[in-house]
Structure 1
Amino acid sequence: MYDRIAGRVLDIGVGAARFSLPLQRTGVDVVGLDVSPGAVDVCLRRTLRSAVLGGIDSLGGSERFDSFLLLGKNLGLLESREQGPRLLTRLAEIANPGARIVGTCVDPYLLEGDHHKHYLAANRDSGRMSGQMRLRLRYQQMATEWFDYLFLSSTELEEMVHGTGWSVTDLTREGSGYAIVARRMDVTAKAGSP
């Protein structure tokens, strides 16, 4: 997937910079973004040049990017049917022409086991997307706040992307997981102009 990444990069949910640091070593201008103060601290200690604490709205109004990374299954950060389009639209607003999203996810419908099927059905019965999870991360005595994370099929992703300024242009599957590249649509084409 690294061959699909170009220009100035925003790594969303950067974590410990496992994707950002190899890119930075090749000369790519990478900005890491994470809501975890610990993750941002680790990124900076690991010598990532730029790491921002917060969500997408924490970035300055003049920030522009050519590539957005949602790797490590971080398409899950789309969170829900309501939040996903908001995040994608916001990314389109800070994207340079021709920008792309490179992301990975798990298709919840391809997971094996009855417990997965029951979880998907319970979500649907409560009006949530099948692969929507409510979770928090814990390590020893530390824990995050509860947050939503979304596993969605590539078909659900394509439906979510519709009308946000992006179009899925490439899809690669491996087992229950998949990787996508989405391209920022031309503004006139998005508006329906010829």
Structure 2
Amino acid sequence: MSTTLPPPGPGRSAAWATDPYANALRTGRGPLFLRRTDGWLLPLDVERWCGAADATDLSALRRCEGPVIDIGCGPGRLVSALAARGHRALGIDVSEAAVDHTQRLGGSALHRSVFDPLPGEGRWGTALLLDGNIGIGGDPGALLRRTAALLAPGGLLIAETASQDVDEHVRVRLDDGRAPAAAPFPWARLGTPALLRHARRQGWRPADQWESGGRTFVALRLDRAVRAVSQSADRTNSTAVISSQLPRNLSGDIPLAGS
């Protein structure tokens, strides 16, 4: 399939298409890190991402409502698990290797940034930002506004937070310790208190918080009026996504009324 994509938006980085990340997904193992400019390293859990959804993942997936969009789906374990649970689900990722892996598992996925035009905008029941993906773009406010535009009224955002109380906005590089470091890109790390602060500024309200397997999660809902404003603003800056841009295993634009 040939797909013409818009120019990179705030959430797309060429770094995620470089060999260290693609190679890690192909082999199913690291090492792979995000390297901060001061040399600090954040290990990326490639083995877990490439495995099946575990009990901690399922603690989040059990809370999903209606059709689900997995933002930064990686190799697709969550999309696959959601489909097995009867959810209509779509993964999006800026890595072609991740999208290919998801589709090989039988999941629906698109090679897109969350800031690109997407199917079903304003009609998703749940959005996922797990595995550190609350950091996409390095600007939590912009990411929360964009996610609000994707969700239906009363929709749910499930985000994974850092276990520490951090609110960090940095530039990082992908590093596997072997290949030359990729180009830097903006990233954020938020603990639960920081995410709740950012969320309240955007009109979100906490729906749930929990810890499982050493990982921490927050579920948020958005005030309907705020979501409508976010959706309207986003649509003025987006073009329609036509059916020819969708992978063959993606049925229409996924969300169904009342699902």
Q: What range describes the TM-score normalised by the shorter chain of this pair?
A: 0.7 to 0.9
| CA spacing shift, 1:179–1:45, aligned 2, 3 Å | same
Does the C-alpha gap of structure 1 residues 104 and 78 become closer, same or farther in structure 2, counting only changes over 3 Å?
farther
* Runs of 5+ unmatched residues, structure 2: 1-59, 230-259
Q: Which residue in 1 is equivalent to 2:111?
A: 53
Q: Counterparts of 1:144 and 1:41 in 2: how far apart (Å)?
A: 21
In 2: Cα distance, 1:189 partner to 1:86 partner: 13
AA in 1 matched with 2:144:
L
Shift of 1:87: 1.4
Pairs within 5 Å for 1:74-113: 74-77=133-136, 79=138, 83-109=139-165
Greater relative CO (CA pairs within 8 A, separation 6+): 2
Following the alignment from structure 2 to structure 1, what is the Cα–Cα distance between the partners of residues 192 and 147?
19
One-letter amino acid of the counterpart of residue 44, structure 1: Q
Tell me, what secondary structure is at the counterpart of 1:100? strand
In the aligned structure 1, how far is the partner of 2:85 from the partner of 2:74? 19
2:173 match:
136
Instruction: Call closer, same or farther: CA 1:61–1:175 in 2, change over 3 Å.
Output: closer
Are positions 1:183 and 2:221 aligned together? yes
Equivalent in the alignment of 2:95: 36
Q: How many residues align?
A: 168
Shift of 1:142: 8.0
Distance 1:147 1:176, change over 3 A: farther
Aligned-pair identity (%): 27
Normalised by the size of structure 1, how large is the TM-score? 0.74
Could you report, residue by residue, the CA deviation over 1:136-178 in whole angstroms, capped at 9, with x for unpaired residues? 3245648654222222222211111123242122112468742
Note the residue ranges of structure 1 that are not aligned, 5 or more in a row: 110-119, 121-128
SS of 2:205's partner is strand
Choose between structure 1 and 2: higher strand proportion: 1
Structure 1 position 8 matched with structure 2 position 106: no
Q: Structure 2 length as normaliser, TM-score? A: 0.57
1:188 CA drift (Å) = 7.5
Distance across 2 between alignment mates of 1:188 and 1:86: 14
- In structure 2, the residue corresponding to 1:57 is in which secondary structure? coil
The correspondence for 2:76, drawn from 4, 12, 17, is 17
Name the CA shift for 1:174/1:15 in 2 (closer, same or farther; >3 Å). Answer: same
